[in-house]
Amino acid sequence: EIVMTQSPATLSVSPGERATLSCRASQSVRNSVAWYQQKPGQAPRLLIYDASTRAAGIPARFSGSGSGTECTLTISSLQSEDFAVYYCQEYNNWPPRLTFGGGTKVEIK
Amino acid sequence: EVELVESGGVVVQPGGSLRLSCAASGFTFDNYAMHWVRQAPGKGLEWVSLINWDGSDTYYSDSVKGRFTISRDNSQNSLYLQMNSLRAEDTALYYCVKDKSIGDDPSYYMDAWGKGTTVTVSS
């Protein structure tokens, strides 16, 4: 089973600042990583897939990078609506045993 | 607009059974693989199961394999999760989730989520 470890668990950032979220896989997942945003009381929303492709309607301030065992989600200039929990997910296993990371909470500093 | 509406979540005793349903609309249901994903109270996301577009392929997490069964009825635009031998650790909000899919193959990531239905396993 692939384990996805996200860091930090909590990130305190001021509006307008840059946020960098990390996701480390226990073995290579190539570029088969997606990122989701979840706000309190809401379902998750797809942000990024294939490690770096923005989903439809996602603002350009969200970007993904990396491959292999290390992936990163960067929010270039945090807006008030970006404070949320972010999850990475790998989809490289066969047969599928899709795994999410434990999440990073981005909070207002 | 894609809409996924889950139902069937209740309080059930350990060892009991339950069937969740998901009504899909706003997209061509039988073109897409579908998932169930759950979230225990105050916890992160856990993938539960995947079914391909025509129901011929199904996959499960190790934690539910042998106890849960995913199925779909494309004529009714509906997804189901039959849950047997329920345990306290199955307590969670269960989301019906659309796979982004590319042609006949799942993409294995998820581009539309329902609001979820709550399952509580407790005596």
pLDDT tens by residue, chain A, 109 residues: 899 999 999 999 999 999 999 999 999 999 999 999 999 999 999 999 999 999 999 999 999 999 999 999 999 999 999 999 999 999 998 899 999 999 999 999 9
Contact list, A102 vs chain B (CB under 8 Å): 44
The answer to whether A52 contacts chain B (CB < 8 Å) is no
Angle ∠(A26,A28,A29) on CA atoms, nearest 5: 105
Contact list, B92 vs chain A (CB under 8 Å): none
In a mutagenesis test of the B interface, which of A98, A99, A100 is the best target, namely the one with the most B β-carbons within 10 Å? A98
Partner residue facing B116 (CB), from A43, A98, A103? A43
Contact list, A36 vs chain B (CB under 8 Å): 45, 110
> Cα–Cα distance between B17 and B85 in angstroms, integer?
6
- For A47, residues 6+ apart whose C-beta sits below 8 A from its C-beta are A34, A35, A36, A37, A54, A55, A58, A62, A64, A73, A86
> Cα–Cα distance between B82 and B19 in angstroms, integer?
4
Q: Taking CB atoms and an 8 Å limit, are A49 and B100 in contact across chains?
A: yes
Three-state secondary structure call for residue B30: helix
